[in-house]
């Protein structure tokens, strides 16, 4: 029999306080003893039993190891680290969640019995909800005779600590209907057993269960009941402050947050302070109220002022996004943020993407989270905010053209899909945009103005039609965010024939160099300046009226070196060499993709040999300047009749002659860099003149 037992025991002795994955232990033992498993042996389970080892699933340990205790300790460590708790608090969380899970199992059993119509089973299950050992009023006061009740009470006392109660909630599935029912039933069932200090936490958990079921009225009443048990318990006060915020009562919300000890930098504190209305200037407390009620200001509207709806629109938007990350839409928000951060090369890219605004806005509207918010919490909103929220659901994201701008105040936008023109109040965005530019945004009503929430995304002319088509198809949030984030992608590098840039080199062994040199003279152009000790040729192509080198070929002795900047160009030359000299043998080759600037930088960074670059200064040599100007002129002339992707595949000359496409051409030319007069650069002014647009 294979002596695996002693070998595994030696592996397990390295960490005797814990088990090891079975496959890891076996491979480690085999690495130490090459004779193991060289011949057919009994099943591994029999070998472990014969060796006195304990096994559970994929784990193996020394004989007598307590897997159950080890798992519990592991769960305690995980909970303690996840929620920053002490070990005894983490154990209390684990035990409380186990009680909750037992209740959830009973709920499942009741549901199943109801569906089956089994009345007797229902009675039996109902009796389990208050078993004798958990009777809230035991027949005697001796804790030794009621050990289960004493244990439950000792566990529940830790709920008085807010961090423990919050951890219990996080470990349940209260955001789902089944979990919410179980949580509410559990909290109600065990409250009579809990110490008085822990009962506000159980009421708070019941309120969270009502919220999970969408019954906000009952939830708010339960929060109030929890507050009556302990007016200072912070989680209750924080939850009630959220309700005050939804109702538009910033003053009450701030008072609750102060009682809860919330710091000034707390997100809800900052939100409510921003939207807390100030008293009317110049109006004394005892003077008649401005509203004309006839009552004194202090009795009527003091501390009850309300900001105009245009000011509260941002508050409404932030109310809707308050639970986005921690709620049911959290996973979708993460996916959308990942699409946003795809090209951001920084450690905090995902966090920045979440704070950026676009991902959250797409989840709210394209993802349906705003409609869910309105369905659940809309009844808490002031009536005018509720009506405004319903209007927002009717607004579609679109592409807008900037018609006019008043810096720092507003801008005039035209929806290119509908033609609607709107005056938009936008302080930050109006400082960045220019007339004629295109942006993707949701322009929504907000009282007597129109505003933009969720940011404005620049759109190039070439992407406009594709984006409109995408918006017409009701994209999901991830798809939309990915499209609007393509602008962050590194510039794609291509050669003049539109092929992806790949730096290719190949070296071939040539049997008859003299014969091949003669054949290459017939096939390619000979270099005027050949490297020392080598013969050199190049393949060329004419694009935009300019001759450009496709590939370089050098013959040194019996070795032929081929250099090209795309795989297609390399393959073309290799195929030609194969025809000219069928005996040519490829010794080695490299193909380094350089499709974007990052790849080029990486290739340059790992290049061992420094390259000597010759900088040609047109200002120092009139001949160079003239040559560059001639090249630019040829390129501009060819460009006028080239199909341009940004013009939907039309040529600039066609667009200039078509009144419906001329605005796109003008926008494209306006997007070009200003003419600096440097030789060799395209001149927008010359292009406009050639097209009759100047």
Question: Angle at CA 358, nearest 5°, toward 357 and 361?
Answer: 85
Q: Give the pLDDT confidence of 185-243 residue by residue, as tens digits.
A: 999 989 998 999 999 999 999 999 999 999 999 999 999 999 999 999 999 999 999 99
Q: Compute the average pLDDT of residues 244-262.
A: 94
Q: Give the pLDDT confidence of 65-95 residue by residue, as tens digits.
A: 888 888 888 899 999 999 999 999 999 999 9
> For residue 300, is it within any domain?
no
The domain that holds 526 is classified in CATH as: 3.30.160
User: Within this chain, do residues 581 and 667 fall inside the same structural domain, yes or no?
Assistant: no
Question: Angle at CA 648, nearest 5°, toward 567 and 642?
Answer: 60
pLDDT at 619: 58
Q: Pick the range with the lowest mean pLDDT from 114-128, 425-439, 664-678.
A: 114-128
Instruction: Tell me which residue of 256, 235, 234, 236 sits closest to 244, measured CA to CA.
Output: 256
User: Within this chain, do residues 120 and 224 fall inside the same structural domain, yes or no?
Assistant: yes
- For residues 343 and 429, the model is more confident at 343
> For residue 75, is it within any domain?
no
pLDDT of 476 higher than 70: yes
The domain that holds 443 is classified in CATH as: 2.40.50.140
Does residue 153 contact residue 146 with C-beta atoms inside 8 Å? Answer: no
> For residue 301, is it within any domain?
no
> For residue 497, is it within any domain?
no
Helix axes 119-128, 87-116, angle to 10 degrees: 160
Q: Give the pLDDT confidence of 334-361 residue by residue, as tens digits.
A: 999 999 999 998 899 999 999 999 999 9
Q: Pick the range with the lowest mean pLDDT from 30-34, 207-211, 419-423.
A: 30-34
> For residue 170, is it within any domain?
yes
pLDDT of 125 higher than 90: no
Question: Angle at CA 286, nearest 5°, toward 284 and 290?
Answer: 65
State what percent of residues in the chain have pLDDT above 70: 85
Q: Give the pLDDT confidence of 612-651 residue by residue, as tens digits.
A: 344 455 556 676 677 667 777 777 888 888 888 778 788 8
User: Within this chain, do residues 443 and 514 fall inside the same structural domain, yes or no?
Assistant: no
Q: What are phi and psi of 382, to 5 degrees?
A: -55, 150
Q: What are phi and psi of 172, to 5 degrees?
A: -100, 175
Write out the DSSP string of 136-203. SS-SS--GGG-HHHHHHHHHHGGGGSHHHHHHHHHHS-TTSHHHHHHHHHHHHHHGGGS-GGGHHHHH
The number of domains in the chain is: 5
User: Within this chain, do residues 180 and 274 fall inside the same structural domain, yes or no?
Assistant: yes
Rounded Cα gap, residues 18 and 77, in angstroms: 14
User: Within this chain, do residues 260 and 389 fall inside the same structural domain, yes or no?
Assistant: no
Domain that holds residue 186: 87-281
Instruction: Tell me which residue of 227, 228, 209, 229 sits closest to 219, measured CA to CA.
Output: 209
> For residue 657, is it within any domain?
yes
Q: Compute the average pLDDT of residues 457-479.
A: 93
Question: Residue holding tokens 């003239």?
Answer: 626
> How much is the mean pLDDT over the chain?
84
pLDDT at 131: 46
Does residue 267 contact residue 294 with C-beta atoms inside 8 Å? Answer: no
For the record, the structure tokens of 452 come out as: 């933009």
pLDDT at 271: 94
pLDDT of 427 higher than 90: no
Element (H, E) at 504: strand 502-509
Parallel/antiparallel/unpaired status of strands 457-459 and 449-452: unpaired
Q: Which residue, 13, 32, 65, sits at the end of a domain?
A: 65
User: Within this chain, do residues 318 and 447 fall inside the same structural domain, yes or no?
Assistant: yes
> For residue 240, is it within any domain?
yes
pLDDT of 609 higher than 50: no
Q: What is the DSSP letter of 644?
A: B
Rounded Cα gap, residues 233 and 199, in angstroms: 10
Q: What is the DSSP letter of 586?
A: E
Does residue 136 contact residue 193 with C-beta atoms inside 8 Å? Answer: yes
User: Within this chain, do residues 225 and 277 fall inside the same structural domain, yes or no?
Assistant: yes
User: Within this chain, do residues 448 and 405 fall inside the same structural domain, yes or no?
Assistant: yes
Q: Which residue, 606, 627, 646, sits at the end of a domain?
A: 606
For the record, the structure tokens of 492 come out as: 């794609």
Does residue 90 contact residue 71 with C-beta atoms inside 8 Å? Answer: no
For the record, the structure tokens of 438 come out as: 């295109």
For the record, the structure tokens of 331 come out as: 């996973």
pLDDT of 299 higher than 80: no
Under the banding of pLDDT at 50, 70 and 90, the label for residue 608 is: very low
User: Within this chain, do residues 174 and 130 fall inside the same structural domain, yes or no?
Assistant: yes
Q: What is the DSSP letter of 395?
A: P
User: Within this chain, do residues 227 and 185 fall inside the same structural domain, yes or no?
Assistant: yes
Write out the DSSP string of 87-113. HHHHHHHHHHHHHHHHHHHHHHHHHHH
pLDDT at 62: 82
pLDDT of 144 higher than 50: no
pLDDT at 430: 84
Q: How far, in whole angstroms, is CA 498 from its chain's centroid?
A: 32
User: Within this chain, do residues 198 and 260 fall inside the same structural domain, yes or no?
Assistant: yes
pLDDT at 143: 45
Q: Give the pLDDT confidence of 37-46 residue by residue, as tens digits.
A: 777 777 877 7
User: Within this chain, do residues 155 and 210 fall inside the same structural domain, yes or no?
Assistant: yes
Q: Which residue, 226, 261, 281, sits at the end of a domain?
A: 281
**Phi-psi category of 26—alpha, beta or left, where left has phi over 0 and alpha has psi -120 to 50?**
alpha
Rounded Cα gap, residues 298 and 577, in angstroms: 96
Instruction: Tell me which residue of 178, 322, 171, 155 sits closest to 244, measured CA to CA.
Output: 322
Q: Give the pLDDT confidence of 485-543 residue by residue, as tens digits.
A: 999 887 667 777 878 888 899 999 999 999 999 999 999 988 877 777 789 998 988 77
> For residue 309, is it within any domain?
no
3-state secondary structure 270-309: HHHHHHCCCCCCCCCCCCECCCCCCCEHHHHCCCCCCCCH
Instruction: Tell me which residue of 568, 569, 554 sits closest to 507, measured CA to CA.
Output: 554
Q: How are the residues of the chain apportioned to helix, strand and coil, as percentages rounded to the nearest 5?
A: 55, 15, 35
For the record, the structure tokens of 358 come out as: 């676009």
User: CA dist 637 to 286, 496, 675, Å?
Assistant: 80, 16, 17
């Amino acid at each position: 029999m294979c002596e695996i037992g002693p070998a595994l025991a030696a592996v397990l002795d390295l960490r005797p306080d814990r088990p090891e994955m079975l496959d890891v232990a076996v491979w480690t033992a085999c690495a130490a003893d090459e004779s193991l498993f060289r011949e057919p042996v009994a099943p591994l389970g029999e070998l472990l039993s014969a060796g006195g080892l304990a096994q559970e699933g994929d784990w193996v340990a020394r004989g007598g190891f307590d897997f159950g205790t080890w798992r519990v300790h592991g769960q305690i460590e995980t909970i303690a680290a996840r929620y920053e708790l002490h070990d005894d608090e983490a154990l209390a969380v684990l035990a409380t969640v186990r009680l909750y899970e037992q209740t959830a199992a009973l709920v499942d059993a009741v549901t199943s019995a109801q569906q089956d119509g089994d009345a007797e089973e229902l009675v039996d299950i109902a009796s389990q909800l208050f078993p004798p050992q958990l009777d809230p009023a035991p027949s005697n006061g001796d804790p030794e005779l009621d050990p289960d009740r004493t244990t439950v009470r000792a566990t529940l006392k830790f709920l008085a600590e807010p961090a423990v109660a919050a951890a219990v909630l996080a470990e349940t599935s209260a955001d789902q209907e089944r979990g919410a029912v179980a949580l509410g039933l559990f909290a109600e069932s065990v409250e009579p057993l809990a110490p008085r200090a822990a009962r506000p936490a159980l009421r708070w958990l019941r309120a969270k269960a009502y919220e999970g079921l969408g019954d906000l009225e009952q939830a708010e009443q339960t929060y109030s009941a929890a507050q009556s048990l302990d007016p200072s318990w912070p989680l209750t006060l924080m939850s009630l402050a959220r309700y005050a915020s939804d109702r538009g009562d910033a003053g009450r919300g701030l008072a609750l947050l102060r009682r809860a000890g919330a710091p000034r930098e707390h997100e809800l504190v900052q939100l409510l302070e921003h939207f807390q209305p100030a008293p009317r200037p110049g109006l004394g407390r005892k003077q008649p109220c401005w509203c004309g009620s006839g009552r004194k200001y202090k009795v009527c509207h003091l501390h009850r002022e309300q900001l105009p709806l245009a000011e509260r629109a941002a508050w409404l938007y932030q109310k809707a996004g308050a639970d986005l990350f921690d709620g049911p839409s959290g996973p979708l928000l993460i996916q959308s943020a990942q699409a946003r951060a795809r090209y951001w090369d920084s450690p905090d890219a995902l966090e920045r993407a979440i704070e950026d605004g676009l991902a959250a806005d797409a989840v709210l509207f394209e993802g349906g989270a705003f409609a869910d918010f309105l369905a659940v919490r809309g009844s808490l909103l002031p009536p005018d905010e509720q009506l405004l929220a319903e209007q927002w659901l009717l607004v579609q994201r679109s592409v807008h053209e900037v018609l006019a701008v008043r810096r720092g105040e507003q801008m005039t936008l035209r929806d290119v899909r509908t033609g609607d023109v709107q005056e938009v109040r936008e302080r930050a965005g109006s400082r960045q945009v220019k007339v004629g530019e295109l942006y993707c945004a949701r322009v929504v009503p907000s009282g007597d103005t129109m505003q933009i929430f969720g940011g404005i995304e620049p759109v190039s002319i070439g992407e406009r039609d594709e984006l409109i088509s995408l918006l017409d198809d009701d994209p999901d949030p991830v798809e939309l965010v990915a499209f609007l984030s393509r602008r962050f992608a590194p510039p794609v590098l291509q050669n003049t024939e539109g092929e992806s840039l790949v730096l290719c080199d190949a070296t071939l062994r040539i049997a008859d160099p003299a014969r091949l040199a003669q054949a290459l003279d017939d096939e390619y152009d000979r270099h005027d300046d050949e490297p020392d000790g080598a013969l050199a040729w190049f393949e060329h192509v004419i694009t935009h009226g300019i001759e450009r080198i496709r590939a370089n070929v050098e013959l040194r002795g019996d070795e032929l070196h081929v250099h090209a900047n795309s795989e297609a160009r390399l393959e073309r030359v290799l195929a030609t060499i194969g025809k000219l000299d069928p005996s040519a043998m490829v010794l080695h080759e490299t193909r380094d993709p350089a499709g974007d600037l990052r790849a080029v930088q990486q290739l340059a960074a790992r290049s061992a040999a420094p390259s000597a670059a010759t900088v040609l200064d047109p200002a120092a040599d009139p001949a160079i300047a003239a040559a560059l100007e001639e090249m630019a002129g040829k390129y501009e002339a060819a460009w006028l009749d080239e199909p341009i992707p940004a013009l939907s595949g039309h040529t600039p000359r066609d667009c200039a002659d078509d009144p419906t496409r001329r605005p796109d051409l003008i926008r494209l030319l306006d997007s070009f860099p200003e003419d600096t007069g440097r030789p060799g650069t395209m001149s927008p002014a010359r292009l406009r003149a050639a097209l009759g647009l100047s």
